[in-house]
A and B are shown apart, each in its own frame.
Chain A
């Protein structure tokens, strides 16, 4: 499964568990408008670390905070490639 699909499936699972209505996710979807809150993103990052074995937020010295879904996926793609 591609990283993008893995991220997407984790996001959908967490949204369902947390009973949040998720907007359709495209690259330019703003995370703040996705229907998820900080706790959801925190859980998503933890699950992705379990699934992909990487946490891009702590893996490098240079951390930036993603604004769009595309940014978020790219963080994981770049971390996996590093």
Chain B
């Protein structure tokens, strides 16, 4: 048995020149110092073999924490910064979290668990134990409002990361993603294991400042969702950078965004990649066109692909292992293929993405289950039932809209307005912003199946 991969060891081996590191708006660290240092001030040993949640607010601290804890803890639950306290509590319970790595004492995690405050990066004094294999856990949207926790191994997360060719200059990576989401984590891991500099942003940083830092650092590789790229293209700062490599993932890359990027960055290699938290990195498309070649179904780069009932299924060593704390949920089918719920259609020698199966909605790369929104709307006294669905949008891919059937038929316009305001207030209080319906339409009825279920139709 070879020893398990350990991120710190891989990052240490990759640092060649020594100048590469992590750059955040107000802080930076060389990889060399990061792999030899600690932000846990002597408390790391107490976390060995435990289940921990990375609950720091900043990406910079999250990066250092992942680097320090991989190979030490049994399980790392990595939650994005917009997670509500309700979702945090659910993740903590499902993953049996014993300690939270955090950067303040006031953040509400929904439950009381031992907190470990991070401190500034300092040189290491205590010896590191022999590496153990850490389970990396990333949440994804669930139908019930409780997140589903997706378990990966580092080897699977690194499955699509190619080592840098000998003699190739170290890239300067930047990403619009948060590194605590699958797409951003890929970039973090790529940079960490290849000795590349990585520019991280923080929630408070304006786009113009982020791009200014990219320009100053000479960014060569940049990744984000199509929505992130559209936002950049709508910003005058876009002309200040000249990446050699432009990567899109997490949403359908449409012709408009691909064509605009090609015109804007004529010297860049433009790649759109297919990946999801459950399926891992699937494949890349490098010909600049929408969709992907039908020949990919014969196998591509270590991934096997099938289309079943119009939906894409993937099998590779990069897919997640399982859902944590949910033995009732299968992540893959009997053959080990993960159903992505992404609908594809073949036209000649090309497959095109047609949107999501009527299960989940993709808003700017973030997944939303209609049920989690309906659960907030339906308890309203005036509401009989509701249907939440997607509305296609050229800026964010999809937006959330709701149709609501009221209990009473004779309702004045004024009462309807009040109900609408109350529904929206409840949604805003309990859902992340992108999950709040952008319109609420009152309808006389909703189509039901013979079995009494809402007919959702294709999104």
Q: Are A32 and B207 in touch, CB under 8 angstroms?
A: yes
How far is B434's CA from A38's CA once the two chains are assembled, in angstroms?
10
Is A5 on the interface with B (CB-CB < 8 A)? no
Interface string of B42-84 (1 = CB under 8 A from A): 0000000000000000000000000000000000000000000
A interface, by DSSP: helix, strand, loop or mixed? helix
**Inter-chain contacts of B85 with A (CB < 8 A):** none
Q: Are A45 and B235 in touch, CB under 8 angstroms?
A: no
Partner of B393 from A45, A65, A66, A67 at Cβ < 8 Å: A45
Q: In this complex, which of B227, B260, B393 has the most chain A Cβ atoms within 10 angstroms of its Cβ?
A: B393
How far is B239's CA from A67's CA once the two chains are assembled, in angstroms?
12
Is B383 on the interface with A (CB-CB < 8 A)? no
Min C-beta distance of A69 to chain B, whole Å: 11
Is A52 on the interface with B (CB-CB < 8 A)? no
Given contacts A38-B231, A41-B395, contact A33 B208 (CB under 8 A): yes
Is A55 on the interface with B (CB-CB < 8 A)? yes
Interface string of A33-64 (1 = CB under 8 A from B): 10001110111011000000001011000011
B211 to A, closest residue via Cβ: A32
Given contacts A46-B399, A57-B256, A65-B260, contact A32 B235 (CB under 8 A): yes
**Inter-chain contacts of B434 with A (CB < 8 A):** 39
**Inter-chain contacts of A31 with B (CB < 8 A):** 234-235
**Inter-chain contacts of A57 with B (CB < 8 A):** 256, 394-395
B residues 426-459 near A (Cβ < 8 Å) are 433-434, 438-439
Q: Are B237 and A32 in touch, CB under 8 angstroms?
A: yes
How far is B207's CA from A55's CA once the two chains are assembled, in angstroms?
26
Is A30 on the interface with B (CB-CB < 8 A)? yes
Counting contact residues on chain A (CB < 8 A from B), the size range is: 20 to 34
Is B181 on the interface with A (CB-CB < 8 A)? no
How far is B440's CA from A43's CA once the two chains are assembled, in angstroms?
13
Given contacts A32-B207, A57-B394, contact A65 B233 (CB under 8 A): yes
Is B391 on the interface with A (CB-CB < 8 A)? yes
Q: Are B399 and A41 in touch, CB under 8 angstroms?
A: no
Given contacts A32-B208, A57-B394, contact A42 B399 (CB under 8 A): yes
**Inter-chain contacts of A45 with B (CB < 8 A):** 393-395
Min C-beta distance of A68 to chain B, whole Å: 8
Is B364 on the interface with A (CB-CB < 8 A)? yes
Q: Are A38 and B395 in touch, CB under 8 angstroms?
A: yes
Min C-beta distance of A33 to chain B, whole Å: 7
Interface string of B233-274 (1 = CB under 8 A from A): 111110000000000000000001001100000000000000
B259 to A, closest residue via Cβ: A63
Q: Are B260 and A63 in touch, CB under 8 angstroms?
A: yes
Q: Are B230 and A38 in touch, CB under 8 angstroms?
A: yes
Min C-beta distance of A17 to chain B, whole Å: 8
**Inter-chain contacts of B185 with A (CB < 8 A):** none
Q: In this complex, which of A33, A39, A65 has the most chain B Cβ atoms within 10 angstroms of its Cβ?
A: A65
Given contacts A32-B207, A39-B434, contact A46 B393 (CB under 8 A): yes
Q: Are B227 and A38 in touch, CB under 8 angstroms?
A: yes
How far is B30's CA from A68's CA once the two chains are assembled, in angstroms?
38
**Inter-chain contacts of A39 with B (CB < 8 A):** 363-364, 396, 433-434
**Inter-chain contacts of A65 with B (CB < 8 A):** 230, 233-234, 260
CB pairs A–B below 8 angstroms (17 shown): A30-B235, A31-B234, A32-B231, A32-B234, A38-B231, A39-B363, A39-B396, A42-B395, A42-B399, A42-B438, A45-B394, A46-B399, A58-B394, A63-B259, A65-B230, A65-B234, A67-B235
Q: Nearest 5 A-B pairs (CB), nearest first?
A: A57-B394, A42-B396, A32-B235, A42-B395, A63-B256
| Given pairs A31-B235, A42-B393, A67-B236, 8 additional interface contacts (CB within 8 A) | A32-B208, A39-B363, A39-B364, A42-B364, A55-B394, A63-B256, A63-B259, A63-B260
